[in-house]
């Protein structure tokens, strides 16, 4: 298919979109023309197949195919009812998937929705990676602050490491930092948090933030007292996660989120997005 044809069809498809209460939709009669169907009955067959596909996926038909039959004039002032549907973007996608692939417009629509789906997947992946990276940076900042505060109380880096490991023991249901590294296949010289999912990183950050707050508020001194505080806070956070059925020690390790790795991954995702679009066109 010529690139100019693709650009033209893309422009026409987006121009035919309507919006109601913040929801975009297309009218079936207009989509029929866009997809190259001269006969309504043939197009209705594609719509019915799309409805079956919609039901198979577990989606509610009423959310994507809205019957808006209207009266049209047929001459001499007489009117008759005409079938019409309001269609969501997902409904349009299903109709294209169930259309005649020999039609140039259907071929375009199938490629178009493949691009949109892939773009959405890449966007979601980038957002998830950014959220995880931000959570990791926030945890690092909170741990650095706690380390500085307890250093002023006479606790060195080794003491801080022991406090953090005991906190992990409480958060991970009896697994300390080294235990979790072995469990997840992480090298001993690598930070555990670099391989944890966002929810666990956030849990560690919250527990550490509370410990930091209470060390100052309660004027806690000594490694034993601060360790006890950190254990209690991690247990409380673990209990909170447990209410949602989450056990941190059972979550699998994720890709390394150390300083340079996520930046490379984000650039790779952006390049994949552009490459996919170019190759499809």
User: pLDDT digits over 170-207, tens only?
Assistant: 999 999 999 999 999 999 999 999 999 999 999 999 99
Contact (CB, 8 A) for 209 and 149:
no
> What is the predicted pLDDT for the residue at 222?
94
pLDDT recorded at residue 276: 43
Helix (H, G, I), strand (E, B) or coil at 81: strand
pLDDT exceeds cutoff 50 at 87: yes
Q: Tokens in use for 247?
A: 């056990």
Look up residue 113 and give its two tokens: 């929705």
56: left (phi over 0), alpha (psi -120 to 50) or beta: alpha
Give the helix/strand (H/E) hosting 58.
Answer: none
């Amino acid at each position: 298919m010529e690139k100019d044809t693709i650009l033209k069809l893309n422009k026409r498809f987006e121009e035919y979109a309507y919006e109601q209460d913040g929801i975009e939709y297309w009218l079936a009669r207009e989509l029929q023309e866009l997809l190259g169907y001269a006969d309504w009955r043939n197009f209705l067959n594609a719509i019915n197949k799309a409805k079956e596909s919609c039901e198979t996926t577990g989606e509610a038909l009423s959310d994507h195919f809205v019957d808006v039959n209207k009266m049209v004039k047929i001459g001499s002032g007489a009117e008759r009812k005409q079938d019409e549907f309001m269609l969501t973007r997902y409904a349009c996608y299903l109709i294209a998937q169930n259309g005649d692939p020999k039609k140039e417009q259907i071929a375009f629509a199938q490629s178009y929705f493949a691009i949109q789906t892939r773009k959405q997947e890449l966007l979601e992946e980038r957002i998830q990676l950014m959220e995880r990276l931000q959570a990791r940076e926030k945890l690092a900042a909170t741990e650095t602050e706690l380390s500085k505060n307890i250093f002023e109380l006479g606790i060195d880096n080794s003491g801080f490491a022991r406090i953090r490991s005991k906190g992990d023991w409480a958060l991970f249901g009896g697994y300390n930092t080294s235990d979790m590294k072995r469990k997840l296949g992480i090298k001993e010289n690598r930070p555990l948090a670099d391989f944890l999912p966002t929810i666990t990183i956030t849990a560690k950050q919250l527990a550490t933030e509370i410990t930091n707050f209470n060390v100052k508020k309660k004027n806690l001194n000594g490694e034993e007292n601060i360790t006890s505080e950190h254990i209690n806070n991690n247990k409380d956070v673990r209990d909170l996660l447990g209410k949602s059925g989450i056990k941190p020690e059972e979550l699998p390790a994720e890709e390394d989120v150390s300083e340079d790795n996520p930046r490379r991954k984000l650039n790779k995702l952006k390049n994949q997005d552009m490459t996919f679009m170019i190759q499809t066109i």
